[in-house]
């Protein structure tokens, strides 16, 4: 982002409408049938682990993380990560990922799950989950189900169904 001054800030409740409009433009109405959105309907994302990217006062990107469990193991689900199309390929997504994962690790979270492109997310430590080890609560392309260990070996003995972490439920 050498040509633009990018600021990454913790998401606030006041950002919700602008972020929803960004998601609508970026992902369209089909996003509501995805497994990840089914989880988001049941538990709020963590504002302290979710971030916005701004250039001046213009919101150009957002990343959210919500509390989940894989089996009985607490984890976070990252997403959606979205960047306004004119600002893609300029480091905005990477800056949001770095901040989100860094904050999660600093708060002793050990695992982050997401549904996304392995080629993109492997650059920040995500890897494909072995087939059959984790079950999502609806349709998902399991080749896009990825995990990042924020602590060495955190995913070693973890398996099971993904569900909201009910201690944070709406």
Task: For each of the domains in the chain, give its residue range(s) and CATH number, in order of start.
Answer: 6-168 (3.40.630.30)
Low-confidence ranges of the chain (pLDDT < 50): 1-2, 170
147: left (phi over 0), alpha (psi -120 to 50) or beta: beta
| Whole-Å CA distances, 11 to 2, 47, 62, 81, 143 | 23, 6, 8, 13, 30
d(CA 134, CA 71): 8
Mean pLDDT rounded to a whole number for the chain: 88
Length, in residues, of the chain: 170
pLDDT (tens digit per residue) in 84-126: 888 888 899 999 999 999 999 999 999 999 999 999 999 999 9
Residue with tokens 């997403």: 79
């Amino acid at each position: 982002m050498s040509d633009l001054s990018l600021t990454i800030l913790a998401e606030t409740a006041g950002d919700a409408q602008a972020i929803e409009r960004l998601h609508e433009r970026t992902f369209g109405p089909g996003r509501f049938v995805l497994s990840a959105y089914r989880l988001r309907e049941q538990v709020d994302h963590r504002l302290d682990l979710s971030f916005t990217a701004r250039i001046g006062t213009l919101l150009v990107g957002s990343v959210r993380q919500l509390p989940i469990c894989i089996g009985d193991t607490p984890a976070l689900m990252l997403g959606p990560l979205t960047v306004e199309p004119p600002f893609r390929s300029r480091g905005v997504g990477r800056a949001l990922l770095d901040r989100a994962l860094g904050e999660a690790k600093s708060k002793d979270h050990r695992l982050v799950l997401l549904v996304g492109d392995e080629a993109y997310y492997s650059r920040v430590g995500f890897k494909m989950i072995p087939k059959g080890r984790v079950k999502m609560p609806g349709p998902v392309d399991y080749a896009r189900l990825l995990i990042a260990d924020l602590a060495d070996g955190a995913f070693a003995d973890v398996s099971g169904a993904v569900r909201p972490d009910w201690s944070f439920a709406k």
